[in-house]
Structure 1
Amino acid sequence: MKTIKYFPFLVFIFFIFSAEAQTVKIKKGEKSYEIYSYDECIEKFEGLSDKSVDIKRKLAESYFKTGDYENAEKYYAEVALSDEYNSEDVYNYASVLKINRKYDEYKKQMDRFYEMEKQDRRAELFAENKSFLDELLQDNEQFKIKNLDINTSAQDFGTAYYGTEQTVFASTRTATKLFKRVWNWNKLPFLDLYIADIKRSNLDNVKQFKKKFNKKYHEGPASFNKKGDFMAYTLNNYENKSKDGVIKLQIFTSENIDGDWQDPVSLPFNSSEYSVGHPALTEDGKTMYFASDMPGGYGGTDIYVTRKDENGNWSDPENLGETVNTEGNEMFPFIHKNGMLFFASDGLPGIGGLDVFMTKKEGNDFIKPKNLGVPVNSNYDDFALIIDENMKSGFFSSNRTDGKGNDDIYSFKVLKEIQFNKIIKGKTKDTEGQILANTTVILFDQEGNPVKTVESDENGNFEFSAEPAALYTLEGSKPSYISVKEDVDTKTPEDVITKDLILEKMPDFIIHGLVSDSDTKKPLENVKITVTENNTGKTSELNIVDAGDFYLKLPEKHLYDTVNYTFLFEKEGYAPKTFNYNKVLDKYGEYGFNVYMNKIKPGEDLGKLIEINPIYFDFDKYNIRPDAAA
């Protein structure tokens, strides 16, 4: 009886202690999360029997920060599909899906994000080109990459040229230290600066950089002027924490005078309340690009620029603007002597994680950044790219899975000249200037192969990224309209080429033909067509300017009329071709046929080459019928 009497009390006490234990774990987990101790945060939160949406959100971020993308996806999914999700939860879920190569689900979540945040540039850029991944994942054999032998199982990243024969990079390797401090984030030692010799596409003879710059916390990455006598580098502000107790990053500079590096000097805009890091100096050392999450930016970290005056004073930071910066993170800039700016971003359209982009300034603005694609970029973090004076080789860093450690340094060789793509853009309209939304626009290369197909948006806009110095053809088509083609030459100094497509309303009846070479099956240009209406003897001429297409409008015809035409096709170097076209107009729309012309070869009997052979394709269909061959 006593046992029964006290049982409810014991159960009550059990739940009291259980709840208190839960509360203690939550508090410890929250504290670990606040100080970036993500491993400990995971340990505490995973021990909870009941997890709130906020706890799951922090677990997702903790797994993401420690590179466990499978578990990050699990918790981001639970948060993004809960009743308490926000737009950033959806974006984070989409981001980890892309890293895990679940591209179809990634697109679905980005569609959700776009509906929630249409003004967010990340959403806008996705909506403008939803098939960007198809392009980026195609290896155009522009780069050859190699994982370097000097990489360790720790972190090695952020190379900087130190003269032409050496590089300085950041690493958590500990071979030269007796006492090892570790960072809360990943339980790895703190970063120090190391120097290595450049041997073709490899690094060799690694040793610590100057002890003056390697202290007890993070140092690196760094940047140097061309002479190698002025440097800027990233340093933990361990002496002054922010109001919320977080150690921020700062940039310090130092000058080498007579072989002696001077005491580091703090930049005037360093702060204990935000981070400033990842400096990139121009060759003369008078301009510095860097990353910061200072107030007034567009998102997480943005890229800024500052300039040094004659007195050695650095100007107020200038944000590079919304073409470069997004609501995501832009960081690790590198400025080449030719003005090309390379940087990493997880907000611009990429393959996954951080991707490397390049841009340049034209006038007062930077042009649309170009993603370097595979193999430099992967579905993981790829960043800190530098390239030599001749734009032939360089180094970048990545945490992709085929590496030796947490972050590795890769070398690369440029196999094809690095150039900015041209942008071909325009609007689809009718002959009265009205917008034609949802028009299919195809970009063809010079050989007539389709490069990409898009649909114009609700405002008639379409856009393609195209190779420079190449010939293309745009084709616009829409039901009830006559297809139109326009040639585009990207061999132009302009980065953006505007070409509108004007589509004419299709009459009730129209004949559409395609004239091609009988051997190559490629459309023929400059074909003269003589059309005779056999019932009246009336003759007219049509000319194919390019691409093999021609149209014969029938404005005076009615349903169930019979048309009877004779077509004569003539082109220099080809045998003339004639055939009769006799058809009852039993449906409204487009009627058509395919014609193949025979090229005259030396010694051939011209009479045998002249044929009369109509070849039809199905009513109101774009493709030629299988039996339409000659």
Structure 2
Amino acid sequence: MKRISILAALLTVTIGVQAQMSIFEVGSKEDRADRLYYQFSYAGAINLYQAVLDEQPGNPRVQLRIAESYRKLNQPAQSAEWYSKVIDNDTLISDEDVLNYAEMLSGAGEYREAKKWFEEFEKRSAGKDSRAEHYLNSLNNLEVYFKDSAIYDIGPVNFNSEGADFSPMFYEDGLVFVTGRETAEVRLVQNVFNWDKEPFLDLFYVGPDSSGLFSAPRPWSEKINTQYHEGPLAFFENEERVVFTRNNYYKGRFKISSDKINKLQLYSAKRGVGETWEHIQPLPFNSNEYSVGHPTFMSDGTTMIFVSDMPGSLGGTDLWQTEWNGDDWSTPLNLGPQINTEGNEMFPFMHKDGILYFASDGQGGLGGLDLYTSELEDGKWETPKNMGYPVNTHHDDFGLIMEPNGVQGWFSSNRDSLEGDNIYRIAITRDPYLRIDGIVIDDVTEEPLANAMVTMRGTDGNEMTVETDDQARFSFNLNWDVMYRFNAELRLYDQMNAPLRKAEDTPEAREPLVIRMKNRCWVYDWELNNKDTGEPVLGANVTMYKKGSADSIVLESDNGTYILPLECETNYDLRIEKPGFFTQVIELTPGNIPEPEFEEIVVGKAIEVENIYYDLDKADIRADAAIELDKLVKLLVDNPQIVIELGSHTDSRGSDSYNLSLSQRRAESAVEYIIDQGIDADRISAKGYGETKLNNECANGVPCSDEQHQANRRTEFAVTDIRTE
């Protein structure tokens, strides 16, 4: 199969140092096959391993090596077939082998069997590797990947070759792309890559022809193309500069890592005269010990995202970013776990609209490398979204670029396995979403309502909230064929639901959405102060209940002043609570908002019950006194934790013994009334004080006015205990 293993050959490892053929001719067939395997000559290793099996049928170690070799060559069907022969061999198979088998099955489109082995890997990894979770989520929701398939038109370009063709990039009026095509025009002797016996990769350019197709491809730059791999590239500074991927080969020197591998590096070049490129320089964070490659630039022209397996990577290969200051590059930063996984993220492309396209085999998907999108919001990357079928298949799909208009582009895939990696044209024939615009207005005045919070909820579980702008407008992108509910909220207005709407391709579905909100009838600024100090009370729990309804509103304030939004012709109860204070429930009616007397609970403190009057020499509860005692009953109901003493006091006129007896009878009469209203008898006691606790100097024999004596005739209560249960 004439194709390059993109995943392995272009990032995780690259070129093994080639040994003399005599080395491979020493030892047994299995030893020679192993040497080829460890030198990344997988195509040759497979041939020798199969020769070993002719002599040793069923050798599990050799079968596993063949499975691994086919995996390295990115031939999932063949790899899965060989894994299946040894996967039950517990003494040989590792957890990573189980994952590899599951991935090969998925890459071959064998989803049911793949699910079984992803579940086995998840069990073995005990949830420590997210790849199993991602893949199982994908396999359990495969229908999601096919729901938008009608919006894409995809087809191969006219310049694909029998070799590998992939990773196009915009340049001038055409494309620069990576190719492994065999051509005598490139060099007299074209090197062959031991990995899979394919030619090394070069950069070619293709421009438009008069028919609207592409002209014949030609080598892009003799200065940049070498006898080794050149890979994906990106232009910046109005195409006056370029960063490109190449093997660690600079100024004629071929360098290797400590484990004898030639890694990939990034190089920059500056445009010279015409189409020449000069001043080729390695980037400062290149290393002999790890690979870097696959550059792309954000719209600012200075932030470059690239791929590397450098220390600090979360998986096999990660996406990183660096800044160009005009002279040098900053220390790379990892894009983080929202983008990167334990698998491989690669082939990024930043669209001018801020959309990051990239390929991953660690996010789940349909198998192999899948294409994803993400956007940077408030400095954080959004959860990547799989682009779905037919952009993604169970083969490798990667290297996507999109025109500035966002509706046409090109990407790479090996979906036609007989042709290897090819470049495909992609056109979006229908918007991937139905955009709906709307406005929020006052139901009566039809004035636009800015700063309203509008929430969209779909039957697919998608939910989003946006704020209306200064003209009260909002918009959402809706998934096709999903039913949506819209809800608007705004201070001083009733929450409002708009009619359900289905996202379908009809004029009615595209109509602007108008949400009309009903203004609450009136609003009251209400202060909650301490009765004794007059200071605002902070941290109280204030809840407003609509009479005859279970609806409630929790009011909040950071300064003790509350906004009460009240509907017309509606009564409310306002419940005020705070530890250490008497709980109060106040009735609110339009036009009648009593000021609360929020009082601290102090054990033993006497609190007067006003307007309690008795007939002369009587202890009976009069109707006017009952009204006031009912208020005390309500206080006890609202504060079930308190125990009180009700005390009755007289003035000094009359004998001391008479006054003491009269006050006791009156206190007992009041307590009896309160108990009759449903208050437990163990929560209230009666105490007659007679004239023993006068409020002024009007004792026996002291001449005083009626008003002064009246001040001493009173009924009080005091909290004697606060129960905790």
Same fold (TM over 0.5): yes
Structure 1 pair 401/265, CA: closer, same or farther in 2 (3 Å)? same
Which secondary structure state, in structure 2, belongs to the residue aligned with residue 186 of structure 1?
coil
1:240-263 Cα shifts (integer Å, max 9, x gaps) = 111111111001011114544212
1:58 Cα offset (Å): 2.5
- Give the counterpart of 1:319 among 334, 356, 371: 334
Instruction: State TM-score, norm by structure 1.
Output: 0.62
1:22-46 Cα shifts (integer Å, max 9, x gaps) = 9622221222112211111111222
Partner of 2:98: 90
Which secondary structure state, in structure 2, belongs to the residue aligned with residue 250 of structure 1?
strand
1:205 Cα offset (Å): 3.1
1:346-369 Cα shifts (integer Å, max 9, x gaps) = 111211110111101112321111
CA distance in 2 between partners of 1:343 and 1:148 (Å): 21
- Give the counterpart of 1:345 among 356, 360, 364: 360
Structure 1 pair 488/213, CA: closer, same or farther in 2 (3 Å)? same
CA distance in 1 between partners of 2:460 and 2:48 (Å): 52
Partner of 1:303: 319
Partner of 1:156: 165
* 1:40 to 2:44 alignment: yes
Partner of 1:240: 255
* 1:136 to 2:145 alignment: yes
1:47-196 matches, cutoff 5 A: 47-48=51-52, 49=56, 53-84=60-91, 85-117=93-125, 118-128=127-137, 130-163=139-172, 165-175=173-183, 176=185, 177-196=187-206
1:442-461 matches, cutoff 5 A: none
Structure 1 pair 148/128, CA: closer, same or farther in 2 (3 Å)? closer
1:270-314 Cα shifts (integer Å, max 9, x gaps) = 11111111111234531211111112211111111111124x211
Partner of 1:407: 421
* 8 A Cα contact 2:98 2:120, kept in partner: yes
1:128 Cα offset (Å): 4.8
CA distance in 2 between partners of 1:46 and 1:129 (Å): 35
Which secondary structure state, in structure 2, belongs to the residue aligned with residue 157 of structure 1?
strand
CA distance in 1 between partners of 2:461 and 2:221 (Å): 52
CA RMSD of aligned residues (A): 3.2
1:94 Cα offset (Å): 0.9
Partner of 1:271: 287
Q: Identify the range of structure 1 (27-36 vs 68-77) with the bigger mean alpha-carbon deviation.
A: 68-77
1:233 Cα offset (Å): 0.6
Structure 1 pair 264/360, CA: closer, same or farther in 2 (3 Å)? same
Instruction: State TM-score, norm by structure 2.
Output: 0.54
- Give the counterpart of 2:216 among 184, 205, 213: 205
CA distance in 1 between partners of 2:257 and 2:204 (Å): 29
Give the aligned residue type for 1:296.
G
Which secondary structure state, in structure 1, belongs to the residue aligned with residue 85 of structure 2?
helix
CA distance in 2 between partners of 1:248 and 1:171 (Å): 19
Which secondary structure state, in structure 2, belongs to the residue aligned with residue 350 of structure 1?
coil
* 1:28 to 2:32 alignment: yes
* 1:392 to 2:392 alignment: no
Structure 1 pair 473/42, CA: closer, same or farther in 2 (3 Å)? closer
1:221-240 Cα shifts (integer Å, max 9, x gaps) = 21112621111111011411
Which secondary structure state, in structure 2, belongs to the residue aligned with residue 145 of structure 1?
strand
CA distance in 1 between partners of 2:131 and 2:346 (Å): 16
1:202 Cα offset (Å): 4.0
Which secondary structure state, in structure 1, belongs to the residue aligned with residue 311 of structure 2?
coil
Give the aligned residue type for 1:249.
L
CA distance in 2 between partners of 1:201 and 1:368 (Å): 37
Which secondary structure state, in structure 2, belongs to the residue aligned with residue 332 of structure 1?
strand
* 8 A Cα contact 1:472 1:489, kept in partner: no
1:399-438 matches, cutoff 5 A: 399-401=414-416, 405-418=419-432
1:394-427 Cα shifts (integer Å, max 9, x gaps) = 1000111266x32101011112335699xxxxxx
Partner of 2:264: 249
* 8 A Cα contact 2:372 2:387, kept in partner: yes
- Give the counterpart of 1:230 among 223, 236, 241: 241
Q: How many residues align?
A: 422
1:136 Cα offset (Å): 1.2
* 8 A Cα contact 2:370 2:397, kept in partner: yes
Structure 1 pair 473/169, CA: closer, same or farther in 2 (3 Å)? closer
- Give the counterpart of 2:304 among 288, 294, 301: 288
* 8 A Cα contact 2:131 2:341, kept in partner: yes
* 8 A Cα contact 2:105 2:111, kept in partner: yes
**Structure 1: 5+ residue runs without aligned partners?**
1-20, 422-443, 454-466, 475-486, 493-630
CA distance in 2 between partners of 1:349 and 1:201 (Å): 37
Which secondary structure state, in structure 1, belongs to the residue aligned with residue 82 of structure 2?
helix
Structure 1 pair 313/331, CA: closer, same or farther in 2 (3 Å)? same
Which secondary structure state, in structure 2, belongs to the residue aligned with residue 123 of structure 1?
helix
CA distance in 2 between partners of 1:286 and 1:308 (Å): 5
Structure 1 pair 490/406, CA: closer, same or farther in 2 (3 Å)? farther
1:98-152 Cα shifts (integer Å, max 9, x gaps) = 1222211111111111112212111232455652322214453121111111101
1:160 Cα offset (Å): 0.5
* Higher CA-based Rg: 2
1:130-184 Cα shifts (integer Å, max 9, x gaps) = 5232221445312111111110111111101113x11100111122133121001
CA distance in 2 between partners of 1:291 and 1:420 (Å): 34
Aligned residues with identical type, % of pairs: 35
Partner of 2:634: none
Give the aligned residue type for 1:187.
K
1:460-505 Cα shifts (integer Å, max 9, x gaps) = xxxxxxx93369999xxxxxxxxxxxx754999xxxxxxxxxxxxx
1:378 Cα offset (Å): 1.1
Q: Identify the range of structure 1 (381-390 vs 55-64) with the bigger mean alpha-carbon deviation.
A: 55-64
Give the aligned residue type for 1:47.
A
Give the aligned residue type for 2:88.
L
Give the aligned residue type for 1:374.
Y
* 8 A Cα contact 2:138 2:365, kept in partner: no
CA distance in 2 between partners of 1:381 and 1:471 (Å): 27
Which secondary structure state, in structure 1, belongs to the residue aligned with residue 398 of structure 2?
strand
Structure 1 pair 322/53, CA: closer, same or farther in 2 (3 Å)? farther
Partner of 1:221: 232
* 8 A Cα contact 2:115 2:136, kept in partner: no
1:93 Cα offset (Å): 0.9
CA distance in 1 between partners of 2:399 and 2:302 (Å): 21
Give the aligned residue type for 1:306.
T
* 8 A Cα contact 1:468 1:491, kept in partner: no
Structure 1 pair 47/356, CA: closer, same or farther in 2 (3 Å)? same
Give the aligned residue type for 1:108.
K
* 8 A Cα contact 2:193 2:199, kept in partner: yes
* 8 A Cα contact 2:299 2:354, kept in partner: no
* 8 A Cα contact 1:201 1:412, kept in partner: no
* 8 A Cα contact 1:385 1:396, kept in partner: yes
1:188 Cα offset (Å): 1.0
